Amino acid sequence: MFNFLGKYYPLYLNGTAQTIIISIIGVLIGLLLGITIVMLRLSEHKFARAIAKTYVAILRGTPSMIQVMLIYYVLSGLITIPPIQILGASLDRVIPGAIALGLNSGAYVSEILRAGVTSISVGQTEAGLSLGLSPKTTLYQIVLPQAIRNVVPALGNEFITLIKESSVLFYIGVQEVTAQALGIGGTLYNFIPPLLVAGLIYFILTSLMSQLMNLVEKRLGRKYRQVA
């Protein structure tokens, strides 16, 4: 049933590498954007809060596939990205795809962080202000670190979701795991075994991410107890 792996395993390796690279870029963009958005949501300026709320509403309320395709066509029309091949992936497709995933993830990360910030006792903020810290410094140095520690499991789930969501990039021609599996299935005239292998690869990647986030959570917990 899986005899084809002897011939096609290099395609799966390339697809897995592309999925990992795209996911890492998407996670970084999503985390940085999420922190920025939550800062706007907690801002005293109504216009900043309105922009952040609108962004989150749009990104959470539309399919990721539509977002990927729109960003791909918009970026392709605005700038020329050289079609340099890396691991069989063309940058003119990988870059827009990774950006799209990051923009989508940023909306969810911002809501996770906002929930974490609002869960921190008001007394923490009052203590920081009483020590002479500015509201911004209190937020960055006291409230936000505690909020991130509290929402590590939720952030881990979002990053796992992003790995799986990377499969939609095959719509714009990114040769990640799903695209490779479909290509192999078309060659074999049998899609079930190639897709089963792809599913196993995603399972391994998400399991590794889950283990990594568990280690981060434990490390942060030990550090918090030592400080406390």
pLDDT, one tens digit per residue, over 98-107 is: 999 999 999 9
C-alpha to C-alpha distances, 22 to 26, 29, 34, 88, 151, nearest whole angstrom: 6, 11, 18, 13, 23
Q: Which CATH architecture has domain 17-173?
A: Orthogonal Bundle (1.10)
Question: What's the rounded Cα separation, in Å, for the pair 169 and 22?
Answer: 10
- Taking alpha carbons only, the member of 126, 123, 200, 167 closest to residue 26 is 167
Q: Say if residue 203's pLDDT is above 90.
A: yes
Is there a contact between 30 and 100 (Cβ–Cβ < 8 Å)? no
Quick one: pLDDT at residue 89? Answer: 66
Is there a contact between 156 and 209 (Cβ–Cβ < 8 Å)? yes
C-alpha to C-alpha distances, 166 to 13, 35, 99, 171, 202, nearest whole angstrom: 16, 22, 11, 10, 10
Q: Which helix (DSSP H) or strand (DSSP E) does residue 85 occupy?
A: strand 85-86
Quick one: pLDDT at residue 129? Answer: 76
Residue 142 tokens, joined: 């006291």
Question: What's the rounded Cα separation, in Å, for the pair 23 and 105?
Answer: 10
Question: What's the rounded Cα separation, in Å, for the pair 75 and 91?
Answer: 12
Least confident residue range of 9-18, 107-116, 143-152: 143-152
Tell me the pLDDT of the chain averaged across its residues: 85
Terminal Cα-to-Cα distance of the chain (whole angstroms): 56
pTM: 0.83
Q: Say if residue 226's pLDDT is above 70.
A: no
pLDDT tens digits, residue range 24-35?
A: 899 999 999 998
Please report, for the chain, the start and end positions of each structural domain, with discontinuous segments joined by +: 17-173
